[in-house]
Structure 1
């Protein structure tokens, strides 16, 4: 089970209890980082991608994966980064299930995490932030693949799809698009013409294909 630790905000001195978020490994186990009870939380002032993600190893299958670093928002407005004891050590993986439980999406970071889970189920490893940052959303990269995660409230447009395709063409890799709000009709038509898989990230954490190329990719998931 994910552990809980007491946290004191250094700005307003409020006391909180933080419970680590568990994420589903591709093997079906629930994985949560080990929290460091001896260290004080750090105040987040500027976001840096490499500091937003940590590597946690599944205690069941020993597979390492990248997950969002634990954070807590205090009512006073301060964002706290919760210290972890060992980013690549054992994690609680005792609740093994036939398939990973969906990751409920509440924030843009959750949407990225859900996309990472899905890409891992497709067999992609070493998922990282793409070298080229898109104008909106988050770009993810793995060997031979570029993925765009769009958590905007509007539906993705044909231009959004084309921008991803052009970037992938320049890097000679395949590409996939994940959207939280879905796609405009012209975006689907353009993606079908270019052979780009389109996926919708449901708020319940279920990722589903919405065009033919995505159906073919979806059939290969583990």
Structure 2
């Protein structure tokens, strides 16, 4: 009950919402560059294009899948509170759909790479902030964190491992339907490598921010 009280404090919820906002923005920035989408959304993006379904819907389905995989990995250790990640799934999918409808892809190749790098950094920071607040993490980031715990390699490496799996599944879907390298490009590779490193650097800082917020109670 003490933990439940802590994670519901206004400051933690505020930082959590900022993290969700940054995450949705960062993922969409990467997607809009047409250099290859962020690994975490690659499967949802390919399904959206191939089956002509709004990316907000396919992203939500993807996040629900992440929750199920967490259940498989954790078994009896799966905390029922993780079910509330469905709420985070909806919020993140909503933010992604909003920016997908409002952002216009830059025309110059230089600006596309600027957007890509900005998107990667923002995605990593958003993921770290939302998970560090220990409220309701985005399911994809919670899965990466779970993989890091199960393997003993940490959140950042867990993110890298999960990205590799998502890229593989995305390519399997796209090549299996005759779409080739749909959604996967140099931007996907950069995001796969750099996002995990951004998380590895920023997550400890945001964990300290969480501890400071707890200390104020």
Query: Whose relative contact order is higher, 1 or 2, with alpha carbons under 8 Å and at least 6 apart?
Result: 2
TM-score of the superposed pair, with normalisation by structure 1: 0.25
Report which of the two structures shows the higher radius of gyration computed on alpha carbons: 1
- TM-score between the two structures when normalised by the length of structure 2: 0.26
- Larger fraction in strand: 1
